Structure 1
Amino acid sequence: MDQGGAGRAGGKWGTDWSFTGFGAFAHLDYVKCLTNPAEKFDIAIVGAPFDTAVSYRPGARFGPRAIRQASSRQTAFRGFNPRANINPYQNWAKIVDCGDITITPFDNNIAREQMTQAFKELGGRGTVSALSARPKIITLGGDHSLALPALRALKEIYGRPVRVLHFDAHLDTWDPAAYPSYWGATHFNHGSMFWMANQEGLLSNATNEQSVHAGLRTRLSGVTNFDNEDDTAQNWIRFSADDIDEVGTKGIVDGIIKTLGTEDPVYLSLDIDVLDPAFAPGTGTPEPGGWTTRELIRILRDIEGLNVVGADVVEVAPAYQGQGEETALAAAQAVYEMLSSIVKRGMGEMGRVKGVGGKDEL
């Protein structure tokens, strides 16, 4: 049947299949936000293709592209999330894919400043909806060092330190001077960025405002428990990967919510190596004994009440994943769950959703 005509062109040709279209996350509108300073949004997806701060296998610079590719089955048309009872792509929030930050692969200190300035610019934009006082940025990594520039930007934008919910196999709070063959090297790497954040006052140091690690199973340095003790001194509490065997996902969630509450601003940082290598082999520092994809997704769904002011999904290194893209698929699903929870919380601000409330102000 002929459905031609200019007025009907959008309905006739305007909806992509999951396997068509360009490579924006979930077929979202793609805007190079950093070169379009007038662009406003409520939530932005941005790529940080950077991996020269890693300590083991490189390749996470290709993570943003892989995650976007793996998100192609997500569309606004088929985006309804039954657990949240919303479609995050057809709701109050204007969500855009802002493309990638241009980051040098030749100088880590310059790269850090490029990311910091980009996060400040994007996080300082105006919003479209009255439900969003400030835009929220979800970053596709890239290695985990990008969390430091993100936290620097949040401190400047909001004027106070935040708390972190950190899903990872590793602590990432190591003092860089303790590394072998240190030689006064840059402190900026993917295992020390939270140590740097603590040194710079980017994380809350109040005894009743701790940050949280979850999914830990890393080996420690030396012959003592010093790494964990130093981590505690930096105001973190820890949930190991093994804890899930004792308390289940509910116990992990209850511990997170009890610690972080639902009002304080939280930066959600997800290293894909929190998953067992059976589910996410495509990462730079895999550690056996991790969570399943299902366990991680359930936890992400059940922490929807948190006041998330920014997030990342990092350390996807697609060269090491299988042909089925299981690592990138898990990462793309994690982003979808984050989006759903952020949008649902915003709806709670207007009383449209019962049971999820609070403010996203600092």
Structure 2
Amino acid sequence: MISITLLTLGLAAYATAHGDHDSQKSISGPHQSLWYNRLPGDGGTQADSVFSGITTFGRLPYKACLSEPGVQYDIAFLGAPFDTGTSYRPGARFGPSGIRQGSRRLNLYGGYNVPLATNPFNSWATVLDCGDVPVTSYDNTYALRQIEEGHYNLLSRAPSTDARKRGPAKHERTLPRVITLGGDHTITLPLLRSINRAYGPVSVIHFDSHLDTWKPKVFGGSPSEVASINHGTYFYHAAQEGLLRNDSNIHAGIRTTLSGPSDYDNDGYCGFEIVEAREIDTIGTDGIIKKIIDRVGTKNPVYLSLDIDTLDPAFAPATGTPETGGWSTRELRTILRGLESLNLIGADIVEVAPAYDTNAEHTTMAAADALYEIMSIMVKKGPLSAMVEQLPGTNEL
């Protein structure tokens, strides 16, 4: 009896020290109700601390969106657990669950992004974790089709906000944004196919240590049509399929070894400009940001694909093809924040392979933090209807 009394008093004191939580039923948005001064069975709710409960990205509400066509959102997180297109270390099929685990504390103190002056967890936007696309590990062709159709299923819905206003998508529609958790980098090809169905060709910002525009006969030998599509050739196929806006795409963070200088020359046929990782030593983060913005522009729809191996292995060891000499987590987050003027319509993060991580979850936390910056940019920018010039009486469909 004494121990129960002391426990109750202790919890009550903790609640008093941290403010009036009876009048503040939610911390970090409407999805995280906490209790402090009641014991289970004594009229209290289930405890929901940052280290407990079901793991979703940033502890967002979960909806099985693919099986619930009526669910609406402005930003959806979607997992694509695919890694049978990798050439070195497999394991990125566990990336979606690992990134979610690394994101648990993103809104521990409320989720407010100080540098970007916005709170992506408590804003105009309805943000959900929609779980994972069901992906087979036995048939790459079918798996990529599953990813494309799953992504398009979510992308093509009416958003929660401004659904009736004109937007930048085909037929002047305003669509939600989808952020995809990979998976190896092969998944970007079906994602761009989905984007193309909704928007047409788009400009792409590609953060990576590798070019990923290799011709299939050079990378993998292309013994079959299936083998020709992998995490080093997907941009080649995207260019051939007309999914990219010509001469408005950019690689950032490149530092891989090459077969020769001609590899950079050949990269041009996919419409990319190259920013090497080592350029940060001479032009700094501001120079990197300027190059990216100058290349893709601030008026067109932009898709962002982030390979976690952009970071140096010291900061993100758990990846399929690590390369030394990369950027720090702080540098990457600074660069991402500098892109707030862009019209990001979607994004993915790939090549997170948790099996190679440290016990401290360095890589999964870095991946989650990068997505936090991207998510913050999307929220701060507002609904995609904002891309269309606001003219009185003409913006509604």
Q: Same fold (TM over 0.5)?
A: yes
Residue in 2 that maps onto 1:127:
159
Q: 1:164 to 1:280 in 2, by over 3 A?
A: same
Partners of 2:64 and 2:107 in 1: how far apart?
Answer: 20
CA deviation profile, 1:12-63 (whole Å, cap 9, x unmatched)? 4478321121111111110111011111110000111110000000000001
Q: 1:359 to 1:141 in 2, by over 3 A?
A: farther
Whether 1:111 aligns to 2:138 is: no
Residue in 1 that maps onto 2:179:
138
How far the C-alpha of 1:340 sits from its partner, in A, is 0.4
Q: 1:150 to 1:359 in 2, by over 3 A?
A: farther
Q: Is the 8 A contact 2:99 2:181 kept in 1?
A: yes
How far the C-alpha of 1:182 sits from its partner, in A, is 3.2
How far the C-alpha of 1:300 sits from its partner, in A, is 0.6
Q: 1:225 to 1:40 in 2, by over 3 A?
A: same
How far the C-alpha of 1:119 sits from its partner, in A, is 1.1
Residue in 2 that maps onto 1:210:
248
Q: What is the SS of the residue equivalent to 2:198? A: helix
Q: 1:166 to 1:15 in 2, by over 3 A?
A: farther
Residue in 2 that maps onto 1:81:
113
How far the C-alpha of 1:76 sits from its partner, in A, is 7.6
Partners of 1:359 and 1:135 in 2: how far apart?
Answer: 18
Paired AA for residue 150 in structure 2? A
Paired AA for residue 149 in structure 1? P
| Residues 45-56 of structure 1 mapped to structure 2, 5 A cutoff | 45-56=77-88
Partners of 2:222 and 2:262 in 1: how far apart?
Answer: 18
| Residues 1-362 of structure 1 mapped to structure 2, 5 A cutoff | 12=35, 13=45, 16-75=48-107, 78-130=110-162, 133-158=174-199, 160-179=200-219, 181-186=221-226, 187-205=228-246, 209-221=247-259, 224-346=260-382
Runs (5+) with no aligned partner, structure 2: 1-11, 27-32, 36-44, 168-173
Q: What is the SS of the residue equivalent to 1:29? A: coil
Partners of 2:206 and 2:317 in 1: how far apart?
Answer: 19
Paired AA for residue 182 in structure 1? S
Partners of 1:77 and 1:94 in 2: how far apart?
Answer: 20
Q: Is the 8 A contact 2:34 2:49 kept in 1?
A: no
How far the C-alpha of 1:180 sits from its partner, in A, is 5.1
Q: RMSD between aligned alpha carbons?
A: 2.6
Q: 1:15 to 1:346 in 2, by over 3 A?
A: farther
Q: Is the 8 A contact 2:34 2:47 kept in 1?
A: yes
Identity of aligned residues (%): 47
Q: Is the 8 A contact 2:252 2:274 kept in 1?
A: yes
Q: Is the 8 A contact 1:307 1:358 kept in 2?
A: no
Q: 1:11 to 1:65 in 2, by over 3 A?
A: closer
Q: What is the SS of the residue equivalent to 1:309? A: strand
TM-score (structure 2 length as normaliser): 0.83
How far the C-alpha of 1:322 sits from its partner, in A, is 0.8
CA deviation profile, 1:263-288 (whole Å, cap 9, x unmatched)? 11111000000011111000010001
Partners of 1:323 and 1:263 in 2: how far apart?
Answer: 42
Q: What is the SS of the residue equivalent to 2:129? A: strand
Paired AA for residue 366 in structure 2? A
Partners of 2:146 and 2:389 in 1: how far apart?
Answer: 30
Partners of 2:48 and 2:276 in 1: how far apart?
Answer: 42
Q: Is the 8 A contact 1:177 1:184 kept in 2?
A: no
Indicate the structure (1 or 2) with the bigger Cα radius of gyration. 2
Q: 1:359 to 1:119 in 2, by over 3 A?
A: farther
CA deviation profile, 1:130-188 (whole Å, cap 9, x unmatched)? 28821100001110111111110111112x20010000000000011123543234222
Residue in 2 that maps onto 1:353:
none
Q: 1:142 to 1:305 in 2, by over 3 A?
A: same
Q: 1:349 to 1:157 in 2, by over 3 A?
A: closer
How far the C-alpha of 1:259 sits from its partner, in A, is 1.0
Paired AA for residue 312 in structure 1? D
TM-score (structure 1 length as normaliser): 0.90
Paired AA for residue 242 in structure 1? R
Q: What is the SS of the residue equivalent to 1:313? A: strand
Partners of 2:214 and 2:148 in 1: how far apart?
Answer: 21
Equivalenced residue count is 348
Q: Is the 8 A contact 1:272 1:283 kept in 2?
A: yes
Partners of 2:385 and 2:243 in 1: how far apart?
Answer: 27
Partners of 2:196 and 2:383 in 1: how far apart?
Answer: 25
